[in-house]
Amino acid sequence: MTKDYDELNPSPRLLMGPGPSNVHPRVYRAMATPLVGHLDPEFLVIMDETMELLREVFGTQNRLTIPVSATGSAGMEAALVNILEPGDQAVVCVKGVFGERMSDIVQRCGAELFRVEGEWGRIIEPEQVEAVLKRTRKPKVVAIVHAETSTGVLQPLEEIGRLAREYEALYLVDTVTSIAGAPINVDAVGIDVCYAGTQKCLSCPPGLAPITFSDRAVQVIQNRKTKVQSWYLDMTMISRYWGSERVYHHTAPVSMIYGLREALRIVHEEGLEARFRRHRYHAAALAAGLEALGVSLAAQEGYRAPMLTLARIPEGVEDRAIRSRLLNEFQLEIGSGLGVFAGKMWRIGLMGESCRRSSVLICLDALEACLRDAGHAVAPGAGVAAAEAFYAKTRPEEMPIA
C-alpha cells in the first residue's frame, strides 16, 4: 500500500535556543521570489549587493567577503583549510565545543596544533595565548571563538589580535553566534579571516556561512605550496565566481542568497549600533528575571554574550523534563548544555528576531510554571516582575554597544 504524506505543517515555535532564531516574514517572502540562474545578470547584481551588506556587518572593506554555500561549520572548515598546509603551526584557543572543533580541523589539515586551554565559562586571557605563542616556531594562524555557543562567553578580541600580529600570524575568528548581535570590527581589530552563520543573530534560515578574508590572508592562499584539501571550499576557485570573472564553480543556492540579502537589509535598516544595544537590553532583562527565579548565570561576569545566556539548572530540577514541557506545552525552545555542561546548564538565546521584550516575558513566565511544578521554590510572578522592573527603569539607548 502506498503511503500518503501530509503537507508540511510544523508547529509554530518561539525559538530561544542557541540557534536557529525566528525568521522575519520579509526573509520568507524573499526566499519565495522566483528563481533566476546563478549566472543570470540580475543575480550577479544581487550577489554584489549581498557582499556589500556583508562587509557592513563584518566591519570590513575586504574584497573577498562572501557567503559560503553551506552552514556555519563549513565556514569554520573553509577558513582553516584555505589557510593551513601540512607542517604549518596553528594556535587554537579552546574554551568550549567550537574551539575543540577548530582543533580537530587543524589536525585534519596536517598542521601542528598548539592549544591554549581555557576554562569553560571564562574568557581566554592574552597572557595565556602569549605563553603558547612563545613555544611555537613560526605560527601560521591564531584562532579563537568570539561568542562561544557552548558557554555563553563573549571573548575580547583586540589584545589577542595584537599578539597574532606581533608573531606575524594570521588572526582567525569564529563569529557564528555574534555576527549582527555584537560588534566584530574586522578591520579595526585586525582580523584576517572571519566566518559566521546565517541562522542566529542574522535571523536567516541555516544554510550559508558568511566569510571574509583580508588581503594578507588572500595572499597566503594564493602562495600555497599545495592545493586546498577541499575542492568545494577552495577559495582560489570560489573567489573567481564571486569576483569580477564570474567563472562557474558550483550552483549557488539562489533562494538562500535572496533570504540572506533581505536579512542583511533588515539589519542595515535597524542600524548596527541599535541592534547591538537591543541585544544587550533584552539580555539584561532576561538575566534579572532568571535571578529572581533562583536561576543563576554561569558565564563569567562582564563577559556574557548578550545573544546567548548560560543558566545553571537548579538543584533537583531535571533538564530534559523542563525543556520538553516548554516545547510541548508552551511552544518554546531553549537549548541544553553541551560538553561538560550537559545536564547542568540551559542555553537561552535572544538572537535577531527572537530578541524581543515579548520573548523575554514569555520565557520567564513559562519557565516559572515549569520550575514551580518541578518543586523549585519561586515566588509567583517573580521573574516577569524583575524583568518588567528593569524595562521600567532602563531605556535601550542607555545600553552600551559592547
pLDDT digits (tens, 9 = 90+) for 150-181: 999 999 999 999 999 999 999 999 999 999 99
Asked, for residue 138, whether it belongs to a domain, the answer is yes
**Which SS3 state, helix, strand or coil, does residue 20 take?**
coil
- pLDDT per residue over 45-66, tens digit each? 999 999 999 999 999 999 999 9
- pLDDT tens, residue by residue, 209-221: 999 999 999 999 9
What pLDDT score does 222 carry?
A: 97
Same domain, 222 and 276: no
**Would you place residue 377 in the very low, low, confident or very high pLDDT band (cuts 50, 70, 90)?**
very high
Mean pLDDT across the chain, nearest whole number?
97
* Model pTM score: 0.97
pLDDT value of residue 31: 98
pLDDT of residue 15: 98
Domain boundary among 217, 243, 268: 268
Same domain? For 245 and 336 the reply is: no
C-alpha cell of 371?
Answer: 520550575
**Matching residue, cell 591554549:** 116
In this prediction, residues 248-260 reach a mean pLDDT of 97
Rounded percentage of the chain residues whose pLDDT exceeds 70: 100
Among 225, 253, 268, give the residue marking a domain's end: 268
- For residue 219, what pLDDT is reported? 98
Pick left, alpha or beta for residue 181 (phi over 0 → left; psi -120 to 50 → alpha; otherwise beta). Answer: alpha
- 209 with 81, same domain: the answer is yes
- Same domain flag for 219 and 317: no
Task: Write the single-letter amino acid at 242.
Answer: W
DSSP for 269-337 reads HH-HHHHHHHHHHHHHHHHHHHHHTT--B-SPTT-B-TTEEEEEPPTT--HHHHHHHHHHHH-EE-EEP
Structural domain contains residue 10: no
Same domain, 237 and 333: no
Percent of the chain with pLDDT over 90: 99
The predicted pLDDT at position 402 comes to 85
**Domain region containing 341:** 272-395
